[in-house]
Structures are given as C-alpha cells and as structure tokens.
Amino acid sequence: MTKKLNMTPEMDAELDALFAQARDEAPVPSADLLARLAQDAAQTQASFGRVVEAPLAPRMSWWAHLIDDIGGLPAMGGLVASACVGIYLGFVNPDFATGLSSTETEVTAEAAGVMSHALLGDLSWIEEG
C-alpha cells in the first residue's frame, strides 16, 4: 500500500532546510486578533454568573398522556379496530365460532379439501384424492 519514494540526498537536504525554517519562524498573532480574543473571553465569562431559567414544558391533558402511554395514534387505531370486531362478534354470535367442534372441523376440512391439515403434517388425504 505504501509507495517508496526515490529521494535524492539533495531533495532530503532541501526538505530539512524548509522544516528547520518553519520551526524557527513561529507565527505571532496580530494585536487585533488578541484584542478580539480577549473581548470574546470577557463576554463568555460574564455569562457564567447568570441563571437562565428553562422554559416550562406545556402541560398535557390526561387524554394526551393516555394516548401517549398506549403508543400514539397508530396504536389507538388498532385498539379501536380490534374493539369494534370484538363487539361485532359478541353481538352477531356467528355459527363458525360456536357451532363446530373439533371432529366436525376435521370432517369439514377433509370434505372441502382445505390444506390446514396438510400444514399440520397429515398428507394422506391428499394422496387418496
């Protein structure tokens, strides 16, 4: 990854002279820069003694807290949808929820060719038909 440079002794001596000159000539900041720096430091130090009060957070109603604790509006939408389905199923009382026992379900599934039993591992009824 590293490339070897072909440095001649003259190039090496020239670089050493440039680096030595840079070390000898330390940059001196101007008086204007030092004055601006001192002024900025004084302004910064003057603000250390002041107490800045944080603004009060707006108060939330108990409804807003409840919705926030549940998970926000998307979670409330899912909760409302599931509550509506539960109320509907409670009033309608559909036959599929109460009318079928486990044996009737197996017979109905085999007659209709439903794949639910195949997913459970019973593939013999597919081979027969």
pLDDT, tens digit (0-9, with 9 covering 90-100), for 39-48: 999 988 887 8
70 neighbors 79 (Cβ within 8 angstroms): yes
Q: What is the DSSP letter of 55?
A: P
Residue ranges making up the domain that contains 108: 99-129
Q: DSSP states of 6-17 as a string?
A: ---HHHHHHHHH
Query: In the structure encoding, which two tokens stand for residue 52, read together?
Result: 């800045």
DSSP state of 93: -
As for how many domains the chain has, the answer is 2
| Higher per-residue confidence, 51 vs 33 | 33
Residues 89 and 108 reside in one and the same domain: no
Residue pointed to by tokens 């459970």: 120
Average pLDDT estimate for 25-44 = 90
Copy the structure tokens of residue 19: 């680096």
**Do 86 and 104 sit in the same domain of this protein?**
no
Chain segment 71-85, per-residue pLDDT in tens:
998 999 999 999 999
In a domain, 38, yes or no: no
